Amino acid sequence: MEQKLFKSSIILLFLIGVFWIVFSSVIYYEDIQITDGYKLFQDILLMTIIFGSILIMWCVIGLNSNSKNMDAFYVTYNVGVLVFLLATIAALVTTIILANKVTDYKNDSDCTSESFLIEFAELNKKSFQTLCQSDCKCYYDDYSVIAIQQGMKNFTLSQSEAIRVQQCQVFESFDLDNKDSNSEILKTFEEASSCSGFCSKNSYFVFSDVNKHVPLSDCKDEIVSFVEKNNDRFIIASSIMTFFMIITFILSLLQLHQTQKVQDFQQKNVEQYIVNCS
């Protein structure tokens, strides 16, 4: 009986590990253009894949304990399952907290309350006031009338000039928190979602290529929507996997209980045999 319980625990843990690897890989390649440029999101997916791989490798310990019937392996395996269960619960709690923060991000329409939004809004404002303005001449390959209509004041047909604010010399002097990572995120979303601006829509692209067509939307909406969509996916996945991790843990506990009962029974038989022999 205990062997069946333990094998069921190992198989379930293996399937959970496979799920996390497949789940994260699908999300990665579904939005690969954004994922490649959004390092934080990329790191989260990578950690999830590593977590799934560890679960699969932990099954090897379970198989060893099952084949060799060694208590040390049994204990190690069950402690690991408990740790994995706690990690899954922690991930679920984190996604639920983030879901509440997403609501706050949506409600902060002026980007004045949430520090996460304030950083992006300040960077966008400073950058829009720099590229193709007095502080940074830009290369613009369209008609000058269109450039003027879009609010550009300092542009040229010389391809040696900047096409994005990161190429402006003055950009390095911006005294803004996380300006490099945030500008990379804004560049990624400009390229993937045809948006520009943050809590306001820019009249031209600032972080990717000023020569692209006119921006279609505000990048704040695109980023918050992206975070919300993927966080909802992780909430659903974490909820389901937490349920199955609990089952895995219960199976491993039942196995320990059954094993202890067998050992107690064997010990009593040995003691009884000694008594009878004496």
pLDDT digits (tens, 9 = 90+) for 242-278: 999 999 888 877 766 555 554 444 455 544 555 556 5
239 and 190 share a domain? no
Which of 18-27, 36-45, 268-277 is the least confident region?
268-277
pLDDT for the residue numbered 276: 56
Token code pair at residue 93: 């709690």
213 and 162 share a domain? yes
Token code pair at residue 78: 């069950």
Which of 93-107, 221-235, 264-278 is the least confident region?
264-278
Distance between CA atoms of residues 43 and 39, nearest Å:
6
Query: Total domain count for the chain?
Result: 2
| pLDDT average, residue stretch 217-241 | 95
pLDDT for the residue numbered 116: 87
Distance between CA atoms of residues 48 and 53, nearest Å:
9
88 and 45 share a domain? yes
| pLDDT average, residue stretch 205-226 | 93
144 and 55 share a domain? no
Its pTM surpasses 0.85 = no
Beta carbons of 124 and 206 less than 8 angstroms apart = yes
| pLDDT average, residue stretch 183-204 | 94
pLDDT for the residue numbered 251: 83
Distance between CA atoms of residues 109 and 76, nearest Å:
50
Number of CB atoms found within 10 A of residue 216's CB: 11
Q: What is the DSSP secondary structure assignment for residue 136, as one 8-state letter?
A: B
More confident residue, 61 or 132: 132
**Portion of the chain with pLDDT greater than 70, in percent:** 87
| pLDDT average, residue stretch 31-57 | 92
SS3 93: helix
187 and 231 share a domain? no
pLDDT for the residue numbered 259: 55
Distance between CA atoms of residues 125 and 139, nearest Å:
20
Number of CB atoms found within 10 A of residue 256's CB: 18
Beta carbons within 8 Å of 179's beta carbon, 6+ residues apart: 123, 171
pLDDT for the residue numbered 49: 96
pLDDT at 127 over 80: yes
215 and 171 share a domain? yes
Distance between CA atoms of residues 58 and 12, nearest Å:
12
pLDDT for the residue numbered 238: 95
Instruction: Tell how far CA 195 is from the center of its chain.
Output: 22
Token code pair at residue 269: 């038989």
| pLDDT average, residue stretch 106-134 | 92
Residue-range definition of the domain harbouring residue 184:
115-221
253 and 264 share a domain? yes
Distance between CA atoms of residues 207 and 180, nearest Å:
11
83 and 127 share a domain? no
71 and 46 share a domain? yes
More confident residue, 65 or 79: 79
pLDDT for the residue numbered 255: 67
Instruction: Provide the pLDDT confidence category of residue 69 given band limits of 50, 70 and 90.
Output: low
Beta carbons within 8 Å of 84's beta carbon, 6+ residues apart: 13, 54, 55, 58, 245
